Amino acid sequence: MRKSQKIKRVTRTLIILMSGLVMVTLMAACGSNSVVSDNNTGTGSGSGSGSKSSTGSDTLNPHIPEDYTSIASFSDHSQWGPYNVHDPSVIKVGKEYYMFSTDVAYGNNLDHVGIQIRKSKDLVHWQFVGWAFNGIPQKELTFMQQHQSGYKQKSIWAPFIMKVGNQFRLYYAVPGNNGLKLAAIGLATSNGILGPWKDNGIVISTTQSDPINAIDPTVIVDNNTGRYWMAYGSYYAGIYMVELDPSTGMLLHPGSTGHRIAFRQKAGQSIEGADILYNPDLKKYYLFVSYGWLEDTYNVRVGRADQPQGPYYDFNGNNMASVGDNLPRITAEYKFDNNAGWQGFGGNCTLRDGSNYYYISQARPSFNKYLMDLHVHKMVFTPGDWPVISPERYDEVPQETLTADSLDGTWEYIVLNKTQNHNVSQKIQLKSDGSISGRASNSTWTYNKGILTLKWNNGTETDVEKVFNGWDWENSRYTIVFTGLNNSGISVWGKKVK
């Protein structure tokens, strides 16, 4: 995040001083204790069946308010289903999805440390289940206490959940206090998704004298060789990749810190929260990283590789391990009409569920940047084989056959050009004669088999978009959306409003 891990740690602990607020990530990616829960398992303000309707009737409306301050207190944690979500990691077990996430909450009320857990049947309505641990597991806690006098348990960061055979593996980061490089990535294992969890100890650790910091783990398995790789690290030296022992989940070569796979211009420019997704149809590995500050300027960049350990190349063919900022940019602050807008839209995991792909992260409503609402977005791949996400949050709407006539009308259009301040929608009209009005003169559009091509200013700028049905969360109605990239590698979004 913005300058260093110190800012991240300081901000998370000092929010308690700001208006009484405090900050008390297989298919994702994103002691012996069973899940710590209570008897009240309500789903909160977002509860409901969300039944499907092609008419856009109320039965399809998720009814999930963005402002959850009324249920923010710890006593209401059973209602935190889609709320207080940061650094999620999601896995599907049977017919249900389970989410593990950082210990974080709005307001001065986080009375438990142990990795939050939620579950869902539809990726829309989530039930808060409890915590994986009752405090920091002992081996990791002992390490922190030995290396930092007066160490206090405050949170566990950025868990990663995966299944290997019949065993679930839960990786997580334990940070030092006061923004130090002191950190440890631990591993816990269980035969059940809700525990009990066995503390297997520290996978990798760092101290103040190290150039990197051991946070934000994510694991990917080589589809061809079966080798296991863990990406980790942030801030000080970029994102690193180290090989794991498949049988134990620990380092294959003890003492190794691995090699760098993503970087920026200097340490003060933040890069964090790596997630890696394999697309078996494209035979590519995709690295997602977040730039910016978690409360506002978070934006997500992507690179791709032929093997999980890299090298990862960006939209312009640059090696992400080299100095420089990378494209494409697939998220940033944004605002549609009839909504305050969203920011802090990063720190994501990804999920492949059969042939369907999803992007999952926090986003913060512009009316209160300390609220952390869960965002799940459908992910698709462009004709150029880059991942992009729907401009609207996911809802299980029916997909209908679309024609060029379906697209004729008024749209809200957003280009994610800005990394500071909101990218605000503007109205355009796709006319039946193939012309476009509302943004630039001499512009045209064509549609063929799910691909919308927008050519602006006599074709000097081109957007290539995937088109599908979605739920308009701002206007509570069924709609059509598009998502894609322009020639510069910037995401372009649209939704039909008339």
In angstroms, the CA 305 to CA 298 distance is 23
| Sequential pLDDT tens for the chain (498 residues) | 433 443 344 344 333 333 333 333 334 345 444 577 543 333 333 333 333 444 445 678 999 999 999 999 899 999 999 999 999 999 999 999 999 999 999 986 678 999 999 999 999 999 999 999 999 999 999 999 999 999 999 999 999 999 999 999 999 999 999 877 999 999 999 999 999 999 999 999 999 999 899 999 999 999 999 999 999 998 778 999 999 999 999 999 999 999 999 999 765 689 999 999 999 999 999 999 999 999 999 999 999 999 999 999 999 999 999 999 999 999 999 999 999 999 999 999 999 999 999 999 999 999 999 999 999 999 999 999 999 999 999 999 999 999 999 999 999 999 999 999 999 999 999 999 999 999 988 999 999 999 999 999 999 999 999 999 999 999 999 999 999 999 999 999 999 997
- Which one, of 468, 473, 460, lies nearest residue 484 by Cα? 468
Decide if 415 is inside a domain. yes
- Decide if 399 is inside a domain: no
- Whether 396 is covered by a domain: the verdict is no
How many residues appear in the chain?
498
Q: Judge whether 395 lies within some domain.
A: no
Distance CA 314, CA 489 (A): 9
What is the number of domains present in the chain?
2
222 and 311 housed in the same domain: yes
Domain membership of residue 79 (yes or no) is yes
Residues 6+ apart with CB under 8 A from 74: 105, 109, 110, 111, 112
Residue from 194, 226, 212 nearest 98 by CA: 194
Q: Are 63 and 99 in a shared domain? A: yes
φ, ψ at 165 (rounded to 5°) = 65, -125
- Residues 378 and 408 both lie in one domain: no
- 223 in a structural domain: yes
Residues 347, 408 within the same domain: no
Burial annotation 93-105 (CB, 10 A radius, 16+ → b, else e): eeeebbbbbbbbb
Residue that has been written with the tokens 């209602």 in this structure: 79
**Cα–Cα nearest to 155, from 194, 114, 127, 186:** 114
Same domain, 248 and 208: yes
Distances, alpha carbon 492 to alpha carbons 205, 317, 329, 383, 452, in Å? 40, 20, 10, 14, 12
Token output for 438: 């509302």
Domain boundary among 341, 366, 389: 389
The secondary structure of residue 197, as a DSSP letter, is B
Is 439 in the same domain as 381? no
Domain that holds residue 423: 404-496
Q: 164 and 115 in one domain?
A: yes
Reading the block at residue 416, the tokens are 């994610």
Q: What is the CATH number of the domain that holds 462?
A: 2.40.128.10
50 in any annotated domain: yes
Q: 196 and 122 share a domain?
A: yes
- Same domain for 361 and 442? no
Burial 338-363 (b: 16+ CB within 10 A, else e): ebebbbbbbbbbbbbeeeebbbbbbb
Q: How far is CA 402 from the centre of its chain?
A: 29
**Among 389, 420, 442, which residue terminates a domain?**
389
